[in-house]
Amino acid sequence: MLDGWIQVAAATPRLRVADCAYNASETLALMRQADEAGVRLAVFPELGLTGYTCGDLFLQESLLEGARQALETLREESRSLNLLTLVGLPLEWGGKLYNCAAALYRGEILGFVPKSHLPNYGEFYELRHFHPAPAGVADIPWGTGTVPFGRDLLFACREVPGFVVGVEICEDLWVPEPPSTRHALAGALILANLSASDETIGKDAYRRTLVTGQSARLCAAYIYADAGEGESTTDMVFAGHDLIAENGILLAESRPFTTGLTVGQVDVSRLQAERRRMNAYPPRRDAGYRQIPFSMPPTETPLTRPVDPAPFIPADAGQRAQRCEAILSMQAAGLAKRLEHSHAKTAVLGISGGLDSCLALLVTARAMDRLGRSRKDILAVTMPCFGTTVRTRGNAEILSQAVGATLRTVDIARAVELHFDDIGHDPQNRDVTYENSQARERTQILMDLANETNGLVVGTGDLSELALGWATYNGDHMSMYGVNASVPKTLIRHIVRYAADTVEDASLREVLLDILDTPVSPELLPAQDGEIAQRTEDIVGPYQLHDFFLYYCIRWGFAPRKIYRLAQAAFTGVYDDSTILHWLRTFYRRFFAQQFKRSCLPDGPKIGSVSLSPRGDWRMPSDAAASLWLAEAEALQPRNL
């Protein structure tokens, strides 16, 4: 439960129609199993203590009393379980019968939630026996006290702010205005549905769409527990189709015609972050609601939900190819519009033989194709200097020629040496001045060539570099349109690989594959024995880790402690805890220190859920203090799970 992760379960026990004692026993067995598995919320099917298919037996006093006794058994047995349980039963109150969910915790009945929408069509005839939920919340007698009764109840954990549960029952989800919508607007982040949905051809897909769609619309977790084995098959068959979804993602699903627990792990802090971020999500509307508190001290929840080490990249090869194609199309569309609007006669870009400029050139070629223009209007400029290797220079030239661009080479070594002379800098002092002078000289050349050809300078810097500030201010940091501005480094690699896999030109494929195999480097320090001497990831850290940190920091607003735990799970066997911590601290230091570079970025297209554009997704003062984040990151220790 710490960090917002809560283990939940949808449970389908075996049952016997109208055998309340047996049903209570089977329910209790799953409750105990759930508790042992660390589950903190278990949801059982609609009318599970009697069976949904009792028919006119619901009007029998003996069945109603049997249900009450079964609930009392579960209430008493729940004392020893650290588990909020929702079970279904018929309940008589005020001369009417209601189809209810009962919430049990630590020997108490916290409340009864009656069903609001009763189906009375097709195979369903619930209005024959039950009455729809009345408005408002009442306190009804139970034992020697009273229990809250009403559709507008929320069950809220005192110790975990996001652990707030709203309840609806089966048909409630299938109507135009489900009660869960009101529950979510009143503050529920977890929605539970006790259901008895019979199985017909195609209904499972529709049910799955309903559950995942409702969780997405409400930015909530949704637990759907379905009736199964043991219900009467006189006219219907029940498959026990249990579902757990979170914000549009299906986390867990049972196999049809099985019983037992379907367990998933929901992240309420992630849901809270998303609701905070979405200003279109309405503020709380809890008028008329009663919140029922319960005390469940948080414990460390082992992370069981999978954590993708590459959150920007689809794991499925087909989806990954579709994603790459879509990104290339978006980038090319953005650049084509800018070229057309500015009446640019050329697109000017520096080609280094590295990944970023490679992708920018591929995008620019697509943009020219989109505009029906010759690729000769692309001015690809190689600017070798002290650190340029034969390999990268050769790849830059081959790539430019293979896409049909106009290639120009400008050796900047003499100009940079003259500049060192002018400012009195010793070229043997290979400090930041030595490096950045080369980057700024290259940008100056590109800008001047753009002026000379009435062109537009296409930027090559990517999202990962922007996050870390790994760019020379007013050097490669600057352009007239940055096509890679919201593409992270790890994703760029896959896009270039996709281009290599789909291109027909063998020479182009070969050079793309060699660029993919080249270490990432700014090449600002002299080569050693003809090889790259300066490897970016040795200096700033692995982009695989930094892109992971970036995603969870910016997209979800998670604190360093939670990001660390996620990284431990994602990179088990890849990076040890000390390595993860070292680069996590580096990420926060660099991210805060380098905002001034992001505050004056050139335009560029947003392509994903994370962007650092100062005009779009990310508005941050350049002089914001990093102390809160760094203090938390510095306090973390290896294996501090």
Structure tokens that stand for 398 in this block: 């081959």
Q: Kindly tell me the burial class for residue 611, based on how many C-beta atoms sit within 10 Å of its own C-beta (0-12, 13-18, 19 or more).
A: buried
In 3D, which of 431, 442, 461 has the Cα closest to residue 525? 431
Cα–Cα distance between 247 and 407 in angstroms, integer? 49
Nearest to 101 by CA among 274, 292, 268: 292
Q: Which residues of 551-563 are buried (b: 16+ CB within 10 A; e: fewer)?
A: bbbbbbebebbbb
What DSSP designation does 232 have?
Answer: -
In whole angstroms, what is the distance from residue 173 CA to residue 169 CA?
Answer: 7
Residues β-bridged to residue 101? 88, 113
Contact 101, 113 (CB under 8 A): yes
Instruction: Answer for the pair 475, 522: CB distance below 8 angstroms, yes or no.
Output: no
Pair 99, 47: CB distance under 8 Å? yes
Strand residues in 414-485 grouped as ranges (E) = 455-459, 481-482
Please classify residue 25 by burial: count the beta carbons closer than 10 Å to its beta carbon, then call 0-12 exposed, 13-18 middle and 19+ buried: middle
- Please answer whether residues 67 and 18 qualify as being in contact, where contact means their C-beta atoms are separated by less than 8 angstroms: no
DSSP state of 596: H
Name the DSSP class of 66. Answer: H
Q: What angle do CA 41, 42, 47 make, to 5 degrees?
A: 135
For CA atoms 37, 43, 48, 52, the dihedral sign is negative
What token pair was written down for 332? 């090319």
Supply 421's token pair: 């002379």
Three-class secondary structure of residue 233 per DSSP: coil
Distance in angstroms (rounded) separating the CA atoms of residues 366 and 360: 10
* CB neighbour class for 504 (10 Å; exposed up to 12, middle 13-18, buried from 19): exposed
**Hey, what are 226's tokens?**
């379905």
Residues in the chain: 641
Please name every residue paired with 289 in a beta bridge, in sequence order, or none if there are none.
none
Residue corresponding to tokens 């892109």: 547
Token pair 């896959």 in the structure block, residue: 494
Burial of 145 (0-12, 13-18, 19+ CB in 10 A): exposed
Rounded to an integer, what distance in angstroms lies between the CA atom of residue 110 and that of residue 80? 16
Point out the residues that are catalytic.
46, 115, 170
Residue ranges in 179-316 assigned as alpha helix (H):
179-185, 203-218, 268-277
